[in-house]
Structure 1
Amino acid sequence: MPTPAPPASPPAAPSAPPGASGRLRFVLPLVLLLVWLALGGALGPFAGRLGEVSTNDGAAFLPRSAESTRVAQLEQDFRTESTLPVVLVWESSAGQVDDALRTAAGRALAAAAEVPGATGPTSPLLPSEDGRALEAVVQLRADLGPETKTAVKAIRDLAGQVPGAVAGVAGPAAVLADLSGAFAGIDGLLLGVALGVVLLILLLVYRAVLLPLLVILGAVFALATACAIVYALARHGVVRVDGQVQGLLSILVIGAATDYGLLYSARFREELAAGRDRYAAARTALRRSVEPVAASGLTVGLGLLVLLLSDLTNNRALGPVGAIGIACAVLSALTFLPAVLALCGRAAFWPARPKADGAGGAHRIWQRVADLVGRRPRALWIGSAAVLAALAACSPLLDARGVPQSELFTTAQPSVAAQRLLSAHFPGGSGNPAVIVADAAHADAVTAAAAQVPGVASVRPYTGGAPTAPPVVTAAGLVRLDATLADPADSDAALATVARLRTAVHAVDGADALVGGYSAQQADTRTTARHDRTLIMPVVLLCILAVLVLLLRSVLAPVLLAATVALSYLATLGVSALVFPHVFGFSATDPSVPLYGFVFLVALGVDYNIFLMTRVREETAALGTRAGVLRGLTATGGVITSAGVVLAATFAALGVIPLAFLAQIAFIVAFGVLLDTLLVRSLLVPALVHDLGGRTWWPARKPD
């Protein structure tokens, strides 16, 4: 027989009027509110100051132990200062380069060398083999920071003044300048869109005026506190921040703080509806919310901290920064919101104030869902699992080999157009060579070996920028050779050439040759990302399992919950593998995307199961497991669904930043959260628990 959903709990007796003790109960919430207002006023500006301590230099986020990283360190010995190349290219509009075009380009190149931040002599103007284009390289100081964007813009303006030619500016410095422009919206646009979307959803769902504003205010206070802490740590070199980490921190804090705030406010509303006064309701709601909110924060925080095991610096940077943000979200949800709701009481829900009728806020839609679970539990969980498994079967199709430069941005960028122009007339790796560092006594042998590698267009010794100077030799007796590749530096063909190049130069006895440069860095990053996924994903699951075992006092239930969110993650990857190339036009994903998606989805997906199962365990004590899961589903269905929609919308806001990496993360997390919320937590888990009955809590014994 199906188990019917149990009736709502009877109303509690109304509390006595506050009196003198009520005035004392008023003091603590007021003090907490004043403390948070003071913190918000003092720390609020830091939400817009992380850019001051951020770096978007890709070289700072290389794998620690990779060969290309060692080359990047050795490269500093060949220069008096670290530089970034800017590659200028002019294509003749008349079809062939003539003397007038060559002269005008030479003047523009000389002027570009005088741009503030430019260093050293420029390369000579090099004609293309087809005679239709010219190329030259200007070096910019690598420590320019935000001024790199200004310098690149000035060089673009100068290059564009050459008559009779189509001009472009490519190379690492140009890409960095475009990245800086893309990340310029992190502080204002992203935050504004995220908060606006969350506020709109809360207003529509709760049909209350004050409550959404209070929840949003709590999230803003949490973000300000997190940004202030991260700012101080980054300023002293304890953590590293870039635009990517900065954006993910904002989204994580806003999404988590809103979710935790919704869970607490729903429990507060239940207690008001049960007849308690605002202070008793706030106290009881806090007591019953501390465990699930703290456990949720712990799972997400631990999942992020596991990123410290990564060999990629940007992954390690997100770990502690994200964990700090989650801790601030938990703190705000369990202190600011209880305090302000205790002071506001039923007015927070105006105009839909809860009545003291004991209804507990149960929603008729979720009552019907609970009835369905009670009637057909086995069919529901098997059917849901089958749908997820079918989607998961497509997950191996997701290509995580890396995003080519032409797809790095989701909007048109000058550096991308310039790279296409450059590749049309010169070897694809022009201006961005593979860098070989070797013993100077074996330079000729290494040069000969490298020149024979298929895919290498030319090999030249590094002379410090002067075309006729001798090769630069360091005090350690090392020489640098620049190998121009035939294919674009970010292409699969270039990465394959790097592998062959390494094999060839490593075989030169006594040379101790190493290969670095942009293409080698991309190859090493892919290898490291695969290693990170193999190491970090199991550790994240073990951490989550440990928290769930302690929370639910069970072994079987945590294993089932972790398995369901892992299956949901694979299903999300399967959907992404289908929509990325065919809907969004992404040929591949960044190597870190599957790992970030796993950490976010598994940790955040478990959140909703934690919210559900802690309530089920609470109800099971009085009603038994099968009735308890139906009662828990009915009581938490509305708030968890609202939280899932809010979190999905928050991550979707990342799409306003025109970077493919963030757009891919936005889709994976948003879709995965909705899948967890609407299918896994609503049908799969309740139906599975209902089917298992008391066995769910093994090895503990609880009634069916």
Structure 2
Amino acid sequence: MGAARTSTRRRRAVPWLVLGLWIGVLALASPFAAKLSDVQRDRAVDYLPASADSTQVAKIQDQLPGGETTEMVVVYHRDGGLTAADKATAAEQIERIAGAHRLTAEPQGIPSTDGTTLMYPVASNEPGTDEEARDALVNDVRDVAKGGDGLSVDVGGEGALATDAAEIYNSLDGPLLYTTAAVVALLLILIYRSPFLWLVPLAVAGVADYLSMGVAYGLHQAFDLSVSGQSSGIMTILVFGAGTDYALLLVARYREELRRVERPYDAMAAALRGCGPAVLASSGTVAAGLLCLLAADLNSSRGMGPAGTVGVLCALAAMLTLLPALLVLFGRRVFWPLVPRYGSTPKARRSLFAAMGSSAGRRPRTVLAGGAVLLGVLALGALNLPGSLKQEDSFTSKPEAVAAMETLAAAYPERGTQPLTVITPTGHADATLAEIEDTRGVDSAERGRSGDGWTEITVLAASAPQSAGETATIEALRDTLDGSYVGGPSAEQLDLKDTNARDRLIVVPLVLVSVLLILIALLRSLVAPLLLVAAVVAVWGAALGIGGLVFGPVFGFEGTDPGLGLLSFVFLVALGVDYGIFLMHRMREESLNGAEPVPAALTALRTTGGVIASAGLVLAATFAVLASMPMVQLVQLGFVIAVGVLLDTFLVRTYLVTSASVALRRKVWWPGALSREPEPAVQPKAPQPVGASAQ
């Protein structure tokens, strides 16, 4: 009796203890979570390659007198041609801007040849180099530069574009969180068909998201972790998407155990023993894949790795501790009206996944070949992806800076309107200036600030921004100017493209090796991990191909984000393997319990198919939220990952992996013990009657 009372007290105390610990953790994390938005930075240097020329330019500019220069272009335009009054208005407004702010040089108006446009380059390095000071300067200029009566006035240039981008990124946090939570809530209501149950995992995901914000802030303070609008948004998506996936798997197994085990505490313990290894391995693959981004040279990619890992691990901790505690405290009634009674059996019904498994089991090689051909054909669409995304094409709407750039491109088609910046040692500044002026493709060059041993030179190319001619000029300057750095918006875009290509060669193999090692350790096999990794790579190619078919023709995007290939690969491989782990772990469990290979594969699909489908829908929906954001980079990333997850959920896991497992039979577990045929049981010899040998 004493042991029974002790066991009962433990069952009652443990969930309350876990809940109390989480309250304490949140109390500690709360002051830090609220500060994460304060350290979020979306300057160019926070996204640029760490070793590139353009990054060095941005860093050295911070050290020059006045700090980083904010460069703008004030664009005056009238369709029928500027009048004398328009020009007078422009001159008066520019004079007011120059009087109110410390500019690096007196702005000079540059008229277009057709007389419709007048542009004034404006640059300032007055005190205050942070984003708030830059945004205040840009907004002050916009307050002064006003048009009317047919005269349009737009403020563009690098500084204005950065301000518009920062405004969009800063506006993402609230809508992204609320939209993601609403999408997850709706799907959980449909999946659970319960007025209460959906609230529990959703609330736990919200707790995990809040904790991840506090941890991310702590990492920023301790290790100078770069936090950008992109990485912060992806962290939230991962917390809700991956965390809800873990919750779905755990709740499904818990419901199953409640029918076999009387007490909720014991049922939860059995559920954690059953699905815990799969959830741990799943989160391990995601974390390992994301941490591989630390090897990237691109700042935005490298910062996203730890931020995403924090989100996944916080979701894992919450779903394996807080969620079980709450479910045990609420008891069976949380499932109302579909309460799993002890000793009951679920209604036997022909499920979709049982039917899919049967078709895969009858003709596994045919299904496998057909699916492989389909994925291969879809992957060919990647050849139709538009070229690299230009800065002015990075927004789904048209902010003022983009409108200014479009006006400049139409009015000055044969000349540069966006300056390049050359940083050179002060002792060689005169010689460098002469070399720049002699470089083919340079329209003009002007010496700027000097300080701390460096001199800034502003260069205008003869070709339009981000054109082939301007790219050739940038490359020529970098080849010619030894010891100098060439930066500016166009140089930054060029560095982004080149660095993403380099990062793919390094990060992709690291991701594949990391995921393979985790799968080998979990599944005790080489064939099964190779099968799962090949499947998710095929899904990635097909998802990119679908993107190529719709980005230009349907969405009207003018380019593709250079980082799309790498980031979508990391997320799809790491997240896609999750579902393979859920399926193959259950298949292995059935095999260890004595099931033959084919029944084990079909049973695993039948028992996990619904959970995997639900998890896939939730994860795809959370990433699809990014497609509603006003940044083309986020839309493209969200679309490719969402499509890839759906392909993985409803084609690869259900049909192709199951078909391959049926076709390979025991070989799928090679070289583990499950790959060998069990030895036939030895039949005991019948006892001979006494004295039989004497007859």
TM-score computed with the length of structure 2 as normaliser: 0.91
**1:64 equivalenced with 2:50 (yes/no):** yes
**Contact (CA 8 Å) 2:385, 2:552: kept in 1 or not?**
no
Q: What is the alpha-carbon distance in structure 1 between the residues aligned to residue 549 and residue 559 of structure 2?
A: 11
2:174 maps to a residue whose letter is G
Q: 1:371 aligns with which of 352, 358, 362?
A: 358
Q: 1:339 aligns with which of 325, 331, 346?
A: 325
Q: Deviations along 1:338-365, whole A, 9 cap, x unmatched? A: 1111112221211111233453687622
Residues 159 and 362 of structure 1, relative CA distance in 2, 3 Å threshold: farther
Q: Paired residue for 2:667? A: 695
Farther off after superposition, 442-451 or 365-374? 442-451
**Contact (CA 8 Å) 1:459, 1:481: kept in 2 or not?**
no
**Contact (CA 8 Å) 1:427, 1:485: kept in 2 or not?**
no
Q: Report deviation, 1:77.
A: 5.6
Q: Paired residue for 2:466? A: 490
CA RMSD, Structure 1 to Structure 2 (Å): 2.5
Residues 548 and 96 of structure 1, relative CA distance in 2, 3 Å threshold: same
Q: 2:572 aligns with which of 579, 585, 601?
A: 601
Q: Paired residue for 2:154? A: 168
Q: Report deviation, 1:30.
A: 1.4
Q: Paired residue for 1:6? A: none
1:602 maps to a residue whose letter is V
Q: Report deviation, 1:443.
A: 5.4
**Contact (CA 8 Å) 1:310, 1:316: kept in 2 or not?**
yes
**1:88 equivalenced with 2:70 (yes/no):** no
3-state SS of the aligned residue for 1:515? strand
Residues 253 and 437 of structure 1, relative CA distance in 2, 3 Å threshold: same
Q: Deviations along 1:7-61, whole A, 9 cap, x unmatched? A: xxxxxxxxxx986632321110112123324444664576564221111101233
Q: Paired residue for 2:368? A: 381
Q: Report deviation, 1:171.
A: 0.9
**Contact (CA 8 Å) 1:183, 1:657: kept in 2 or not?**
no
3-state SS of the aligned residue for 1:482? strand
3-state SS of the aligned residue for 1:178? helix
Q: Report deviation, 1:321.
A: 1.2
Q: What is the alpha-carbon distance in structure 2 between the residues aligned to residue 34 and residue 154 of structure 1?
A: 51
Residues 232 and 642 of structure 1, relative CA distance in 2, 3 Å threshold: same
Q: What is the alpha-carbon distance in structure 2 between the residues aligned to residue 460 and residue 652 of structure 1?
A: 46
3-state SS of the aligned residue for 2:81? coil
Q: Paired residue for 1:14? A: none
Farther off after superposition, 156-165 or 587-596? 156-165
Q: Deviations along 1:494-537, whole A, 9 cap, x unmatched? A: 2233123333x24xxxx644422222222122111101001110
Q: Paired residue for 1:352? A: 338
Q: Report deviation, 1:437.
A: 3.5
Q: What is the alpha-carbon distance in structure 1 between the residues aligned to residue 309 and residue 340 of structure 2?
A: 35
Farther off after superposition, 417-426 or 668-677? 417-426
Q: Paired residue for 1:677? A: 649
1:106 maps to a residue whose letter is A
Q: Paired residue for 1:547? A: 518
Seq. identity, %: 37
Q: Report deviation, 1:217.
A: 0.9
3-state SS of the aligned residue for 1:582? coil
Q: Paired residue for 2:308? A: 322
Q: Paired residue for 1:499? A: 475
Q: What is the alpha-carbon distance in structure 2 between the residues aligned to residue 285 and residue 406 of structure 1?
A: 52
Report the number of matched residues.
670
3-state SS of the aligned residue for 2:559? coil
Q: Report deviation, 1:237.
A: 5.2
Q: What is the alpha-carbon distance in structure 1 between the residues aligned to residue 591 and residue 352 of structure 2?
A: 22
3-state SS of the aligned residue for 2:331? helix
Q: 2:627 aligns with which of 655, 658, 667?
A: 655
1:132 maps to a residue whose letter is T
Q: Paired residue for 1:135? A: 119
Q: Deviations along 1:232-266, whole A, 9 cap, x unmatched? A: 22245520101111111110111111111111111
3-state SS of the aligned residue for 2:41? coil
Q: What is the alpha-carbon distance in structure 1 between the residues aligned to residue 643 and residue 348 of structure 2?
A: 27
1:489 maps to a residue whose letter is P
Q: Report deviation, 1:178.
A: 1.1
1:635 maps to a residue whose letter is T
Farther off after superposition, 352-361 or 604-613? 352-361
Q: Deviations along 1:283-325, whole A, 9 cap, x unmatched? A: 1001112201110111000111110101111111111111111
**Contact (CA 8 Å) 2:408, 2:417: kept in 1 or not?**
no
**Contact (CA 8 Å) 1:112, 1:138: kept in 2 or not?**
no
- What does residue range 170-189 of structure 1 map to in structure 2 within 5 Å? 170-189=156-175
**1:391 equivalenced with 2:363 (yes/no):** no
**Contact (CA 8 Å) 1:97, 1:131: kept in 2 or not?**
no
3-state SS of the aligned residue for 1:210? coil
Q: Report deviation, 1:444.
A: 6.1
Q: Deviations along 1:95-138, whole A, 9 cap, x unmatched? A: 1352x3333223222333466x7655542333334443322214
Q: What is the alpha-carbon distance in structure 2 between the residues aligned to residue 362 and residue 605 of structure 1?
A: 30
Q: What is the alpha-carbon distance in structure 1 between the residues aligned to residue 186 and residue 368 of structure 2?
A: 33
2:575 maps to a residue whose letter is L
Unpaired runs of at least 5, structure 1: 1-16, 465-471
Q: What is the alpha-carbon distance in structure 2 between the residues aligned to residue 416 and residue 130 of structure 1?
A: 21
**1:407 equivalenced with 2:378 (yes/no):** no
Q: What is the alpha-carbon distance in structure 2 between the residues aligned to residue 60 and residue 196 of structure 1?
A: 31
Q: What is the alpha-carbon distance in structure 2 between the residues aligned to residue 426 and residue 361 of structure 1?
A: 72
Residues 429 and 50 of structure 1, relative CA distance in 2, 3 Å threshold: farther
3-state SS of the aligned residue for 2:654? helix
Q: Report deviation, 1:448.
A: 5.2
Q: 2:420 aligns with which of 434, 445, 453?
A: 434
1:143 maps to a residue whose letter is T
Q: Paired residue for 2:190? A: 204
Q: What is the alpha-carbon distance in structure 1 between the residues aligned to residue 112 and residue 444 of structure 2?
A: 17
Q: Paired residue for 2:94? A: 109
Q: 2:211 aligns with which of 225, 230, 244?
A: 225
Residues 346 and 484 of structure 1, relative CA distance in 2, 3 Å threshold: same
TM-score computed with the length of structure 1 as normaliser: 0.89
2:256 maps to a residue whose letter is E
Q: Report deviation, 1:379.
A: 1.6
Q: Paired residue for 2:132? A: 146
Residues 649 and 446 of structure 1, relative CA distance in 2, 3 Å threshold: same
Q: What is the alpha-carbon distance in structure 1 between the residues aligned to residue 80 and residue 379 of structure 2?
A: 54
**Contact (CA 8 Å) 1:404, 1:491: kept in 2 or not?**
no
Q: 2:555 aligns with which of 566, 570, 584?
A: 584
Residues 460 and 542 of structure 1, relative CA distance in 2, 3 Å threshold: same
Residues 653 and 362 of structure 1, relative CA distance in 2, 3 Å threshold: farther
Q: What is the alpha-carbon distance in structure 1 between the residues aligned to residue 254 and residue 415 of structure 2?
A: 62
Q: What is the alpha-carbon distance in structure 2 between the residues aligned to residue 114 and residue 533 of structure 1?
A: 49
1:482 maps to a residue whose letter is T
Q: Paired residue for 1:481? A: 457
Residues 254 and 362 of structure 1, relative CA distance in 2, 3 Å threshold: farther
**1:126 equivalenced with 2:120 (yes/no):** no
Q: Paired residue for 1:11? A: none
3-state SS of the aligned residue for 1:481? strand
Q: What is the alpha-carbon distance in structure 1 between the residues aligned to residue 603 and residue 348 of structure 2?
A: 9
2:535 maps to a residue whose letter is T
Q: What is the alpha-carbon distance in structure 1 between the residues aligned to residue 344 and residue 467 of structure 2?
A: 64
Q: What is the alpha-carbon distance in structure 2 between the residues aligned to residue 152 and residue 224 of structure 1?
A: 33
**1:53 equivalenced with 2:39 (yes/no):** yes
3-state SS of the aligned residue for 1:64? coil
